[in-house]
Amino acid sequence: MDVQETPTAGAWGEWNPTEDSARPLRGKHRVLKTRGGLARSSTVLGVGVIAAVGAGGIATAQDRPQVSISVPDLLGGGGHSDTGADDVRTAAAADGSGTAAAGATQTAAVPQQGGDAGEALLNRILQQAESQQDADHAQARADAERTAREAAAQEAKVQKEAADKEAETARAAAEQAAAAEKEAAEKAAAEQTATKAATGSGSGPGSGSGSQSADGWSLPTSSYTLTSHYGVAGSMWSSGYHTGLDFAAPTGTPVKAVGGGKVISAGWSGAYGYRIVLKLDDGTEIWYCHLSSMSVTSGSVGAGETIGRVGATGNVTGAHLHLEVRKGGSTVDPLAWLGSKGLDV
């Protein structure tokens, strides 16, 4: 097989392009082949991308009037390439009316989809803002409740401290009053002992000497020690002073009628504890208070008859008989009254 020689430069004649021969032909266009209904031209692809971005990029674009997009506008105005414009028109003609209608339908659907996406994004932003606002309100309420609880706890602490201080002050005052009363009783007992020793009457307090008088009167009890006298001031008594005479004696020591009379009252009497009221024939009332038990609760009794027992009921600091003498509803000094009956107390 013969091998043909490579033609030389002038085998078919030399062609030197000139301005006239190199000028592009007008009126003749190359028809592009389509793939999947779209032209391969870069110009058509660029138009599709710009249209898609413009439709889906901004959610509020659907509220504005739509502007027609033409190929010259996208390519930069009036100055455009003839070849690019002709390629678009040729591709559209080659694609047929069916492809053009489908493209129009897709183009019309893009703005609607873009609007829905934008509206969904706006709704998500509003929901997030509302959720953040609710969280802020919940945090503010929690802070307010915590502040209120702390304030209430502080107030309770202050009130407790004030109550403790007040209780301590009251306790100290009560102890001081009790000490003063005890000191006064001891002083009165010492004075009474000194008086009896000086006069030679009796043989001391509570000895039982002189418990009966010539006129039939009797001391209210025996084996006693006088502790609180009539008229002694102090906070331990509701009236501000002592209204009777206290005979301190062991619980169960017999309590006797000082004179003949009638028991008109017997029972519980508040701060007096168990109390017996004996009304004498002249109308004088003798009150026997703080009893542990009552032997006679009604009826007539004679002088020296046991009517009850010494106790520590009611408002007391120890076992004793509180004796009151009342004439016309008013109290009188029991020590002086008993002395007027010839009794050596």
Supply the DSSP string of 73-114, one letter for each residue.
HHTTSS---HHHHHHHHHHHHHHHHHHHHHHHHHHHHHHHHH
pLDDT score for 232: 84
- Residues written for the chain: 345
pLDDT score for 88: 41
Is the confidence at residue 98, as pLDDT, over 50? no
pLDDT score for 236: 64
Of 66-70, 81-85, 134-138, 203-207, the least confident: 203-207
Comparison of pLDDT for 228 and 114, the residue scoring more = 228
Distance CA 230, CA 27 (A): 147
Share of the chain above pLDDT 70, in %: 56
Distance CA 182, CA 185 (A): 5
Residue 192 has a CB neighbour count (10 Å cut-off) of 18
pTM: 0.42
Comparison of pLDDT for 36 and 246, the residue scoring more = 246
pLDDT tier for residue 266 given thresholds of 50, 70 and 90: very high
Of 3-17, 261-275, 328-342, the least confident: 3-17
User: Per the structure block, which two tokens stand in for 236?
Assistant: 């331990």
pLDDT score for 179: 77
pLDDT score for 20: 59
Whole-Å CA distances, 285 to 38, 160, 179, 311: 132, 48, 31, 20
pLDDT score for 182: 72
Residue 254 has a CB neighbour count (10 Å cut-off) of 17
pLDDT tier for residue 26 given thresholds of 50, 70 and 90: low
284 in Cβ contact with 327 (< 8 Å): yes
pLDDT score for 259: 94
Distance CA 80, CA 108 (A): 26
pLDDT score for 146: 92
Distance CA 271, CA 276 (A): 14
Q: What is the gyration radius of the CA atoms in the chain, in angstroms? A: 63
Q: State how far Cα 279 lies from the chain centre.
A: 61
pLDDT tier for residue 157 given thresholds of 50, 70 and 90: very high
pLDDT score for 80: 44
Distance CA 24, CA 81 (A): 12
Residue 326 has a CB neighbour count (10 Å cut-off) of 18
Is the confidence at residue 86, as pLDDT, over 60? no
Long-range CB contact pairs, 335-339, < 8 A, 24+: 335/226, 335/229, 335/230, 335/245, 338/217, 338/219, 338/258
Mean pLDDT value across the chain:
73
Specify the DSSP element, H or E, that contains 320.
strand 320-327
